[in-house]
């Protein structure tokens, strides 16, 4: 699988973070095309660190956890537990308004 690395995002947040942003952006685009249900006007992507490390083989589960936490702490991603049972702790992610602005500014030349 080929990954796109936006140099602006990589300089500001890190190479792994730039790759994860691109992967999440692509997955959310696929979900939105299927007219998935929206919460507060946004589609959420259900993804564990294990799922992310399977999509991005260069990430271990622990590094995927760190990258997701870094992006949530930076305000790029919002996370929530939107599961049917309280035993399922898989998190769902979407871009915050700030994250969308950062991406729009970074992808101007793409």
Walk me through the domains of the chain, giving residue ranges and CATH numbers.
7-106 (1.10.10.10)
The pLDDT value given to residue 72: 96
Q: What is the pLDDT of residues 41-56, one digit of tens each?
A: 788 898 999 999 999 9
Which pTM does this prediction carry?
0.86
Q: Does the CA dihedral 1-91-103-30 come out positive or negative?
A: positive
Residue 31: what pLDDT?
A: 83
Q: Which of 38-42, 50-54, 67-71, 76-80 has the lowest mean pLDDT?
A: 38-42
Top-confidence range, 21-25, 32-36, 88-92: 21-25
Torsion-angle region of 35 (φ positive above 0: left; ψ -120 to 50: alpha; else: beta):
left
């Amino acid at each position: 699988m080929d990954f796109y690395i936006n140099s602006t995002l990589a300089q500001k947040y890190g190479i792994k973070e730039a790759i994860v942003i691109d992967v999440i952006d692509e997955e959310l685009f696929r979900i939105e095309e299927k007219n998935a249900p929206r919460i507060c006007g946004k589609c959420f992507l259900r993804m564990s660190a294990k799922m992310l490390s399977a999509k991005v083989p260069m990430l271990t589960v622990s590094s995927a956890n760190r990258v997701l936490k870094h992006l949530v702490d930076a305000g790029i991603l919002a996370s929530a537990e939107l599961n049917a049972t309280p035993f399922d702790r898989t998190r769902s992610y979407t871009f915050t308004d700030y994250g969308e602005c950062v991406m729009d500014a970074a992808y101007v030349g793409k």
